């Protein structure tokens, strides 16, 4: 028995969502698991809530986020959503709950939300559990995206729970886990859509007010706060989508219940990083129509924002909603242009040459089908100030065909670099190092880590990969 005070139980939890009342959630109980093995703890997040990693023991994580001791109530959120374009009123937190909300040292409110913590009223016949592989994959996705500059939730802990789970057509059971997700909010587009379905305009207004007060406080109290709220949400989602696209990331299931009201990325199931630039690449094997393919993500996020207008019309003028959504394309284009130029080590100034270089880069990646991620890795590793002086010294990939694309790209990149000072060339090198990770989280990499775990219970490759993703620090 742990005789020390558990630092997680001493945090100053805020009943922010709880204060809305039980029209938005159900109180639930956590499952009791036969075993608790802490497989991952995010020491990098602890200082964000004012805790010293050295003072937090593994048993503290297990008690708080494996056994869920000392916290009441635990809240399963209610929501609906459009799933593959069809409205589904039978959703809600089916294998998770809101454990608690705390202020970070930055003054922002954060959620501890679970995944795999047991059944709720919304489990729909499911067991409410999370496979260990699903937990491992989400840890890796969240860390990879975070260190690529994507606005994302993070995994706070992953505990193996000792149960055997049967999934789909798998011939044998798989191991189980419970994960705790650390995010800005678990309020989804679908949270509002449920209230519209129930014709509760009063509850929609209450939830909009809550969202603005806690997550858009800079507009709280303004006469046009509602219109500003939606307009900023559109901007946040457009920028998030651009971050995914630049990172070469395909979420896989962009249903409206997987869209956060804070414009934050979360809930990584069948995600994948694209091996090559292919707009038709799909991450989910069950996405037969390609609705959520890589290249469709901007259109889908825009569509999800349009569907959100239905409940928000109870509070926000239709003209203001349309004006807000009309900015999506521009916000996305500006963000994507800036991010992709950063991946080339450049600053997004107003330049036709930069526009042409970006177009040519995307064409090069698409037409040659070279590895999307390794192109930028090799660019970063090979970069030299001499590239400013000699076009022939610029990275040359002999296996890239057709060569005319490659030659034209090198000439234009050389032309852009030639306009920079020697001091600015140092900034190009620094920017390349900061923006482009040195590891590509492709499916074979994840599978190799999982194989070590499932075959030999060897977690070292997983920890090594996490450390590499985090920059080796």
26 is in an annotated binding site: no
pLDDT, position 401: 62
Q: What is the rounded (10 degree) CA torsion for 183, 185, 187, 188?
A: -50
pLDDT band at 472 (very low <50, low <70, confident <90, very high): low
User: Which pLDDT value is given to residue 224?
Assistant: 96
Q: Which residues contact 128 (CB under 8 A, 6 or more apart)?
A: 31, 94, 95, 116, 117, 118, 119, 120
* Whole-structure pTM value: 0.96
In this structure, how many other beta carbons lie within 10 angstroms of the beta carbon of residue 367? 14
Establish whether 94 is an annotated binding residue: yes
Decide if pLDDT at 2 tops 70: no
The C-alpha R_g of the chain, in whole angstroms, comes to 23
pLDDT confidence band for 400 (50 / 70 / 90): low
Q: Is 116 annotated as a binding residue?
A: no
pLDDT exceeds cutoff 90 at 103 = yes
Do residues 241 and 331 touch, judged by C-beta distance below 8 A? no
Stretch among 57-61, 94-98, 394-398 having the lowest mean pLDDT: 394-398
The stretch 22-32 carries a mean pLDDT of 97
310 marked among binding-site residues: no
Higher pLDDT, 97 or 399: 97
Cα–Cα dist 323/234, whole Å = 10
Whether residue 404 has pLDDT greater than 80: no
12 assigned to active site: no
Mean pLDDT to the nearest integer, 201-205: 98
181 assigned binding-site residue: yes
pLDDT digits (tens, 9 = 90+) for 250-271: 999 999 999 999 999 999 999 9
- Would the annotation count 188 as a binding residue? yes
- C-alpha span between 145 and 130 (Å, rounded): 21
How far apart are the C-alpha atoms of 257 and 119, rounded to whole Å? 18
Structure confidence at residue 399 (pLDDT) = 64
For residue 398, what pLDDT is reported?
A: 57
Of the listed ranges 91-100, 155-164, 239-248, 421-430, the one predicted with least confidence:
421-430
Catalytic residue among 60, 93, 111, 257: 257
């Amino acid at each position: 028995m742990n005789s020390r005070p558990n630092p997680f139980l001493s945090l100053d939890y805020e009943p922010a969502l709880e204060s809305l009342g039980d029209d938005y959630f159900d109180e639930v109980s956590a499952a009791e698991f036969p075993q608790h093995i802490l497989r991952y703890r995010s020491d990098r997040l602890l200082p964000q809530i004012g805790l010293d990693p050295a003072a937090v023991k593994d048993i503290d994580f297990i008690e708080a986020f494996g056994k869920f001791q000392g916290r009441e109530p635990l809240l399963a959120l209610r929501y609906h959503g459009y799933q593959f374009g069809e409205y589904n009123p039978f959703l809600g937190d089916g294998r998770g709950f809101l454990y608690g909300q705390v202020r970070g040292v930055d003054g922002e409110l954060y959620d501890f939300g679970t995944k795999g913590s047991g059944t709720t009223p919304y489990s729909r016949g499911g067991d409410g559990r999370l496979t260990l592989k699903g937990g491992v994959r989400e840890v890796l996705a969240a860390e990879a995206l975070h260190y690529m500059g994507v606005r994302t939730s993070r995994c706070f802990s992953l505990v193996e729970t000792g149960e055997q789970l049967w999934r789909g057509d798998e011939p044998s059971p798989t191991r189980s886990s419970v994960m705790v997700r650390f995010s800005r909010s678990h309020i989804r587009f679908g949270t509002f859509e449920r209230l519209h379905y129930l014709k509760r305009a009063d509850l929609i207004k209450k939830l909009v007010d809550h969202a603005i007060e806690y997550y858009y406080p800079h507009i709280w109290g303004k006469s046009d706060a509602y219109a500003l709220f939606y307009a900023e949400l559109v901007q946040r989602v457009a920028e998030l989508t651009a971050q995914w696209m630049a990172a070469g990331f395909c979420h896989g299931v962009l249903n409206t219940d997987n869209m956060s009201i804070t414009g934050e990325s979360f809930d990584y199931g069948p995600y994948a990083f694209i091996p090559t630039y292919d707009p038709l690449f799909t991450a989910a094997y069950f996405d037969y129509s390609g609705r959520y393919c890589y290249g469709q993500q901007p259109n889908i996020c825009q569509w999800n924002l349009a569907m959100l207008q239905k409940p928000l019309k109870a509070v926000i003028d239709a003209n203001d909603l349309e004006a807000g959504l009309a900015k999506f394309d521009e916000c996305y284009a500006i963000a994507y242009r800036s991010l992709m130029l950063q991946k080339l080590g450049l600053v997004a100034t107003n330049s036709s040459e930069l526009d042409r270089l970006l177009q040519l880069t995307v064409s090069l990646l698409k037409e040659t089908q070279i590895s999307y991620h390794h192109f930028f890795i090799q660019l970063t590793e090979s970069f030299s100030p001499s590239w400013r002086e000699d076009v022939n010294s610029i990275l040359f990939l002999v296996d890239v065909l057709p060569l005319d694309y490659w030659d034209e790209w090198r000439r234009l990149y050389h032309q852009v670099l030639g306009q920079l000072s020697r001091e600015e060339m140092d900034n190009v090198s620094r920017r390349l190092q900061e923006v482009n990770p040195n590891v590509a989280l492709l499916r074979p990499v994840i599978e190799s880590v999982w194989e070590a775990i499932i075959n030999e219970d060897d977690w070292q490759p997983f920890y090594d990969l996490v450390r590499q993703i985090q920059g080796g620090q």
